[in-house]
Structures are given as structure tokens and as C-alpha cells.
Structure 1
Amino acid sequence: MSYRTSIEWTDSTWNPIIGCSKISPGCKNCYAEAITKRFVGIKGHPFELGFQIRMRPDKLNEPARWKTPRKIFTCSMSDLFHEQVPFEFIDQVFKVMVTEKRHTFQLLTKRSERLVELSPRLTWSPNIWVGVSVESEEQKSRIQYLQTVPAAVRFISFEPLLGSISHVNLSGIDWVIVGGESGVHARKMEVEWATEIRDQCITNHVPFFFKQFGGRRGKKGGEDAALDGVVWHEFPTPKFDRMLSTPDE
């Protein structure tokens, strides 16, 4: 939950909400849950009671104190659109993001249906990016939900990538991130799965960011971040004048 982070595609993390629950196979070895385990039972610690959902209104003003513009991964230790998070608090988080326009806020959710349900009730400014996690073919439907959200940047995180995902509809998608699972119990990601998505991004002119192969090496950069000897660390160009259209079936 640090202000600065080692996550390669962002600068800082901001957690006005913490805690989550598992919803699909990509959650099995959740890095955020693993981080919290050593704090369980420590009196006064945010994770004293484990990985339970908790709103933290005292954290809402943190971005206002960061004067230098930065990319901020919002709710890196939770899911803003979790069903236990009241709309009223989600709205407060959005109001902060709209106000602090010097920052870019990056939201990532697995709960695409609730994202779409609440989207019309929220204020979207160009500095709010939103993405969905898609770990396998079975979760591709999340992309269709994402494509209807009026964000300046819509992105997909294929991490942890757990299988081949072909024929991805990238209409209205501005950025793709791919990465393998890391940690002691990491599931293997095949090179072909990553290159398959990269090639679809090239064909559709979508910026591609390859994070890592994962596993237990824990390397940052170098060969662990390269595909065919190339490091793909592309970022999107926001489309502030986006006109939404119905995604292709």
C-alpha cells in the first residue's frame, strides 16, 4: 500500500478500500491477499482481521497531497466495484479522481457487470482509466462489458495469463497488459499465449505492455520482460473525444 510501487505500468498505489474475495481462477494466488497474511492479528494494523473489505475514508485525500503528477493504480489491494463496497463510497472515490486532474487514475476490476451497472451514475473525467482482468478464455465476456464504459482509456490486463486466448475483440480498447503469475505457487505461462495476444495487438494497433513471464524468479526487466528479445512497454494515448459504439459481436 505504498505511495511508490514496483508495478511497472504505474507510479503509485492508492487504497481507499482494502480487502477482497475470490471470484475466478485468476484469484487463486492473489498477491494482495498474500501480502496481508503476515499482519493478521496485529492490533491496529489495517489487515488485523485479514483480507476483509474495509472502506478507509481517511485515505480519500491522499492524492491531493501528491503535488507531482503521477499514474496511480487505484485500489491495488481491493476491487473498487466489489459488491460489498457501497455506491456512495465509490462515488466519493470518483469525486476525488475528478478533482485531482493532474494525476492519472488506473482502475482494474474483475467485476465488470457491476462496473457497467454503476457507470452511468458516476462522473468520468479524461484522467480516469478503467480496465478489466481477463485470465483465460472463460473470462473474455468481461471485455464486452468494458467496451460500453465511457472512459478515456479502456484497458485489459491479461494477468495472470492462464491459457491461450484467441480472437480477442479489441474494438474500443486502448491498452493491453500481459503477465505471468509470480510467487512460490505461480502457475506457468507459455510464451505462445503471450505472443498470441501481442500479435493481435499489433494487428489492431493497440499499445502492448508485457510485464513478466512470472514464476519464482522475481526478476524485473531484462529477459523476463522480453518477448522474442523485445521489451514491450507501450502506453496508451487517451482518446478524450471518444464516441461509444456497440462492440462487434
Structure 2
Amino acid sequence: MANVGTAIEWTDATWNPTTGCNKVSPGCKHCYAERITERFSQHFPQGFRFTLHPERLQEPYRWKKPRRVFVNSMSDLFHEQMPLRFLLEVFRVMRETPQHTYQILTKRHTRLLELDPLIEWPENVWMGVSVENQKYAVRVDFLRQTGARVKFLSCEPLLGPLELDLRGIHWVIVGGESGPDHRPIDPTWVRSLRDQCQRAGIPFFFKQWGGRTPKSGGRLLDGRTWDEFPQTDSLTERQARLSRIGLDTIENTIRDPQSDFVL
């Protein structure tokens, strides 16, 4: 399936150098990626088994227009079956395409921190963890210790009230679950997280109330949408830094990573 374009409100495109995953916590129970795999099975010959797609590594080089890119919307970049070499190749692609902003989410906080010393974190990579209830707020502590420049949380599906330590966190996304078996969200949980973000001066993004479909409940919270994003360097500022180190144009960084990777 094509990796460009998405209905996810907080990003512009998706890029899936791997697909497939397995459930690790309650937020995974009604995994949307698994449902998509089943619905469009002709595009996923390996089903929902973790699968590498080295042929997709070159895709971001073709996108000239800057965009926010959700990495592995159909998988987890820090899955236990992810080879270190392939993971580092994904990071190299992101580093060599600074015109884009990459957004990564994981539920595998332990492996994230284990591999953190081996990762050269590009400025254009935002690293996040999913936090669906208070038990898994521990993921925030692991994220905080990484070298990622921008650190964010996705509290979706939000399954209970959360009290968070937001030190070192730059963005919070909140959303209710969607799908035929969706679990309801309590508005007081959402307002609490919004208020925590406001007190901490952190951008808050409310994605959806959820329901049978993602748009069933709409996106309004107290009469308005909440579409706040972290403030980061512009493409022009990144371009100036590239020029200072001898890379006159972003295009000078383009290469074919697939040629270097063999399964």
C-alpha cells in the first residue's frame, strides 16, 4: 500500500519501513493496524507478522516538499525483532532528509532506552511513547532519558485518568478509541491532561473522542479544537546549518540506502 497521505490529524504522511507487530499492553487490544492488515490482506502477504521492507527505505528521498512523517504507523520501530542494522539505516534515512519532520511512537520503552546510546538522533526526529493508562506512565521516564531532541506522548486510546510528570516532554496527543469494540473515554480524563499541559506550558493536541468510527464523536473539547504543535526549527534554519557544514542543498544528501542493505 502507498505510504503517502494519511487521515491522522497530527501528521501529513506515513512511512512504513516495517509492518506487523504483536500486542504488549491494553492499548493494543483493538489495534487499528491489525484491522487494516486484515481488511486489505492482498497488500500484506505476510499478514501481521513483523516484516522488513528495505525497498521502502528510499521513499523519503523522493518527497521534495517538507512534511511531517509518522514512521511505522503499521508497526513499532523498536519491535524486539527489528535488527539493529536496519533500525540504524532507518535513522540514517531520516538524518539525510532534513526537510521532513519524522514522528516515531513506540510501546517498547525498554528497548528504546537500551538502543538509545547506539542512535545518532537527528534534529528532525520526534520520539514518542504511547501511554494509555497510569500503569504505563513509566514509559515517560524511559523516554525522558533518551537523546531525542523532541519527546512526545500519545495518550491514545486513553483508557483511564493520568497524572503525568511532564518534565522534558514537548508535546502531548490525546484521543479516544475508535472501532466497533471501542472503549469509552471520560471527558474528565481529557480535561485533566489538557490542564496538566497548560500548567506545564506544553502543546496539547486533542485528536478525537472516538466511537465506532474515528470521526463519530468529533474533535471539539469545550467548544474548540486543540491542534497545538511543538515549536521547532524551520526548514530554512535547517538549510542554513547544512550550508555551514558544506551541504549547499538538501538534495546533496540524497542517496539510495537500499543499495547498502541486504537481508
Fold shared by both chains (TM-score > 0.5): yes
Structure 2 distance, partners of 1:59, 1:50, is: 18
Q: In the TM superposition, what is the alpha-carbon distance from 1:175 to its structure 2 partner? A: 0.2
Q: Deviations over 1:60-80 (max 9, x none)?
A: 000000010000000110000
Q: In the TM superposition, what is the alpha-carbon distance from 1:6 to its structure 2 partner? A: 0.6
Structure 1 distance, partners of 2:200, 2:110, is: 25
Q: In the TM superposition, what is the alpha-carbon distance from 1:38 to its structure 2 partner? A: 2.7
What SS is found at the alignment partner of 1:225? coil
Matched with 2:150 is: 153
5 Å-filtered alignment, 1:1-249, equals: 2-40=3-41, 42=42, 45=43, 47-166=44-163, 168-219=164-215, 224-238=218-232
Q: In the TM superposition, what is the alpha-carbon distance from 1:230 to its structure 2 partner? A: 1.9
Structure 2 residue runs of 5 or longer lacking an equivalent are 235-263
Structure 2 distance, partners of 1:34, 1:90, is: 25
Q: Deviations over 1:34-72 (max 9, x none)?
A: 0001344x4xx3x12310000100000000000100000
Structure 1 distance, partners of 2:212, 2:172, is: 24
Structure 2 distance, partners of 1:184, 1:122, is: 39
Structure 1 distance, partners of 2:130, 2:39, is: 26
Q: In the TM superposition, what is the alpha-carbon distance from 1:98 to its structure 2 partner? A: 0.4
More helix by share: 2
What SS is found at the alignment partner of 2:49? coil
Tell me the matched-pair count.
233
Structure 1 distance, partners of 2:206, 2:130, is: 14
Matched with 1:246 is: none
Contact 2:144/2:168 (8 A) holds in 1: yes
Q: In the TM superposition, what is the alpha-carbon distance from 1:216 to its structure 2 partner? A: 1.3
- RMSD over aligned Cα atoms: 1.5
What SS is found at the alignment partner of 2:146? coil
What SS is found at the alignment partner of 2:218? helix
Q: Deviations over 1:166-192 (max 9, x none)?
A: 2x1000000000000001111000101
Contact 2:3/2:16 (8 A) holds in 1: no
Counterpart amino acid of residue 21 in structure 2 = C
Matched with 1:245 is: none
Identity of aligned residues (%): 52
Counterpart amino acid of residue 99 in structure 2 = R
Structure 1 residue runs of 5 or longer lacking an equivalent are 241-249
Q: Runs of 4+ in structure 1 displaced over 6 angstroms?
A: none
> Bigger shift: 223-232 or 101-110?
223-232
What SS is found at the alignment partner of 1:169? coil
Structure 2 distance, partners of 1:192, 1:239, is: 34
Structure 2 distance, partners of 1:101, 1:157, is: 23
What SS is found at the alignment partner of 1:91? helix
